[in-house]
Structure 1
Amino acid sequence: MALKIGRGASAPPFLVMDVIAAANARAAVLPPGAFADGLGILRMEVGQPGTGAPRGAAEAVVAALEAGAPMGYTEAFGLRSLRERISAHYAERYGAAVPAERIAVTVGASGAFPLAFLAAFDPGDAVAMAAPYYPPYVNILTALGMRPQILPCDAATRWQPTLAMLKALDPRPAGLILASPCNPAGTMLPAEEFIAIARWCEAEGVRLISDEIYHGLTYGTVEERSAAAHSSSAVVVNSFSKYFSMTGWRIGWLVLPEDLVRPVECLAQNLFINAPHVAQVAAEAAFACRPELEANIARYRRNRDALLAGLPAAGLDRLSPADGAFYLWADIGHLTNDSPEFCRRLLAEAGIAATPGVDFDAARGHRFLRLSYCGPEADMAAAPSRIARFLGR
């Protein structure tokens, strides 16, 4: 007799992880001098900064280990000193008063989303989001028995939802996931639109989940705002993975409204116990590493500018504005209607790993791909010419 397999086991793959595996396999068999530019596989598939943790963060961990720090359990919400430092960050950057008691340190943003969703929503609840979207939003909600409500967006709305779009929803969803800057398009909501949406959600009883993991990675075209400064009911998700360049440390945080503090704490105690102690030590020290981190942003800006200048002539001329984060959302509908096959050939023939758009938009993603530009400058500079050759330009 066949054994039952749970509903959660049917979650679709996060395709970028499959692309990473394919790129690793291709790199392992790549002969020397395979490409005229002398470089290997250009890794443009994943949002992982090419730099590691800032030096001060690594040094803080070494010092703690050499001092014999036990690195045992912390409180479920994390080290008090780290939570206080995050609280100070909100006052310094956004002018927002966020007490440490409302901050939960989590196992990355990936660990924060299930906590937020379980505390804020019930099975069957509809949670709205713009398409294209970060795939785990949909996959986690679905695994938890909730209903993703997709709002198709396009270049006319800068790949972001509009207040008019939300007001037209009947019935109202239980929640809205908002990301500014967003993954995969890198676009941002203008400050007045962001604030209007945050206030509408609070007035209409729609729980706002504000994904702010790309905060700090902006290029001056749109003002950055945090929901923590504009809504008392919003949940803010952030992470040390992107701006702080600490992806593998698996450390993030939540800013919680008062009514969700204890529910999330109980969930965290049972599901995760606490985020890794050693990562919390590194995270606290990372706040003192601003000059190094700002230098990283300058590199991303140069990469962004090089691609925006070079890709149109190479044949990719339908690109998102790229206000923040480190992604370009490219419309390749004039070249193909099969983005997975296009990305497979791009890797095999041109040595460029890119993520097919179907990962981010099941309905329309077959004609898009995402390019990440947080890798080495030499690699990003080489990408347009490789793409041009691949497309016969």
Structure 2
Amino acid sequence: MLKTGRGAEAPPFLVMDVIAAANARAAAQPPGAPAVLRMEVGQPSTGAPRGAAEAAMRALSAGAPMGYTEAFGLPSLRARISRHYADKYGAVVPAGRIAVTVGASGAFPLAFLAAFDPGDRVAMAAPFYPPYANILTSLGMVPQLLPCDASTRFQPTIAMLEALDPRPEGLIVASPCNPAGTMLAPAELEAIARWCHGNGVRLVSDEIYHGLSYGMAEATAAGCSVAEAGPGSLPAPAAGDEAGGRLSSASLSSASLGPSAIVINSFSKYWAMTGWRIGWMVLPDDLIRPVETLAQNMFISAPHVAQVAAQAAMDCTEELEANRERYRRNRDILMNEMPGAGFPQLASADGAFYLWADISHRTNDSLTFCARMLAEIGVAATPGVDFDPDRGGRFLRLSYCGAEADILDAVRRLRAWR
């Protein structure tokens, strides 16, 4: 019998199976039947901003060759991302520390391979984005789950990290997170970054939902390089910052939350460019060349035309902010109406575009529950077991990045179904 590799044993990303089931249901619908409401996948329904599409068309019409770029991407795009950190966070992030990747999905294996070895433990909050654990497992690393709940707002804490013995080699945090939509306050992210840097734990900060928050301040773990700051050199928060749950502008502008952290971001969510497959990483000094050589060998470069479009997208602020306001309205509808539709226990949904619902009063089998929901009322949702194998049978995730009319229709159907 032929051998198969460790990667062949990776668990499925179940949301993709839900997408396939929803597609099949939609294809089998008779004419005039109510549409399947797609709330299973985190894909903005708007598509790329107009300016991004127009930039791509101009480049193609001009006959540009659109060949390989440097492994870390177009210099002009890297410079524009660097300016984004200055404009949004007051952070000084040199373009030389920015790597453009084939989506955030292409960034994670680069980060894991450069930072960790087979057998290394990488901690993360549970519930979590499934590919974190699936990619780590495929690479021979060990996901170390930190069971979180509403008491910690589904985010990890310093106390949880201190309780780990031995210490993990890495920690993944996400703020806003998928699936719960909760965020770490800037002071909390700073404390975790300090703890990781001081304890030799590599922090990987997933920031792909930045830009999509609804009242809480966003902070980035992108900061000064290891050459610029060592352990213990991070500035203390200004007086009153921790009590207020956020950093002062002076602390943020120092840009020193995570001098050893890896930051991963993407054009898929705020910029609504899922199929263009463009993400980026902010790297600490010690990982710049290792990640570059891995990227050269694994991907060569991200798609050239998509990089052109992504650079243009960063200047489409008016359109993108209109998208965010639509998500906010959808979020508010669900937070207000879902309790009356039989879903009273909801995570706080500070950001992203997901609602994490506790359905333990109705079932402990979210897989079957979601299958019934799709079959009986045509609402597609993702079962919680995709995000937490041990406790996810009591939860489901709903995405609210679609049309407002669909959100209202989903609430109506769910209210009648209960």
Residue of structure 1 equivalent to 2:378: 351
1:70 is the counterpart of 2:69: no
Give, in angstroms, the shift of residue 384 of structure 1.
1.2
- Counterpart of 2:327 (choices 297, 300, 305) is 300
Q: Secondary structure at the match of 1:227?
A: coil
1:376 is the counterpart of 2:403: yes
Give, in angstroms, the shift of residue 154 of structure 1.
0.2
> Hey, what's the Cα distance between the residues in 1 that align with 2:119 and 2:273?
35
1:30 is the counterpart of 2:29: yes
Give, in angstroms, the shift of residue 192 of structure 1.
1.0
Residue of structure 2 equivalent to 1:237: 264
> Hey, what's the Cα distance between the residues in 1 that align with 2:150 and 2:352?
17
**Residue type of the alignment partner of 1:371:** L
Give, in angstroms, the shift of residue 33 of structure 1.
3.7
Give, in angstroms, the shift of residue 382 of structure 1.
1.1
1:21 is the counterpart of 2:20: yes
Q: Secondary structure at the match of 2:260?
A: coil
- Counterpart of 1:51 (choices 32, 46, 50) is 46
Q: What is the number of equivalent residue pairs in this alignment?
A: 385
> Hey, what's the Cα distance between the residues in 2 that align with 1:258 and 1:333?
46
1:137 is the counterpart of 2:132: yes
Residue of structure 2 equivalent to 1:266: 293
Give, in angstroms, the shift of residue 31 of structure 1.
2.0
Residue of structure 1 equivalent to 2:107: 112
The normalised TM-score by structure 2 is 0.91
Any runs of at least 4 consecutive aligned residues in structure 1 with deviations exceeding 6 A, and if so which? none
Residue of structure 1 equivalent to 2:346: 319
The normalised TM-score by structure 1 is 0.97
RMSD over aligned CA atoms reads: 0.7
> Hey, what's the Cα distance between the residues in 2 that align with 1:47 and 1:385?
21
> Hey, what's the Cα distance between the residues in 1 that align with 2:385 and 2:416?
25
Residue of structure 2 equivalent to 1:226: 220
- Counterpart of 1:206 (choices 198, 201, 204) is 201
Residue of structure 1 equivalent to 2:356: 329
Residue of structure 2 equivalent to 1:172: 167
Q: Secondary structure at the match of 2:372?
A: helix
**Residue type of the alignment partner of 1:356:** P
**Residue type of the alignment partner of 2:123:** A
Identity of aligned residues (%): 74
1:6 is the counterpart of 2:5: yes
> Hey, what's the Cα distance between the residues in 2 that align with 1:33 and 1:371?
25
Residue of structure 1 equivalent to 2:77: 82
> Hey, what's the Cα distance between the residues in 1 that align with 2:194 and 2:83?
24
> Hey, what's the Cα distance between the residues in 1 that align with 2:121 and 2:379?
37
Gaps of 5+ in 1: none
Q: Secondary structure at the match of 1:75?
A: coil
> Hey, what's the Cα distance between the residues in 2 that align with 1:262 and 1:340?
43
Give, in angstroms, the shift of residue 34 of structure 1.
3.0
Cα-to-partner distance string for 1:200-258 (whole Å, 9 max, x where unaligned): 111111000000000000001x2110001311100000000000000000000000000
Gaps of 5+ in 2: 223-254
- Counterpart of 1:153 (choices 148, 155, 164) is 148
1:187 is the counterpart of 2:182: yes
**Residue type of the alignment partner of 2:50:** R
> Hey, what's the Cα distance between the residues in 2 that align with 1:309 and 1:34?
28
Cα-to-partner distance string for 1:23-47 (whole Å, 9 max, x where unaligned): 0000011123434xxxx11100000
Residue of structure 1 equivalent to 2:315: 288
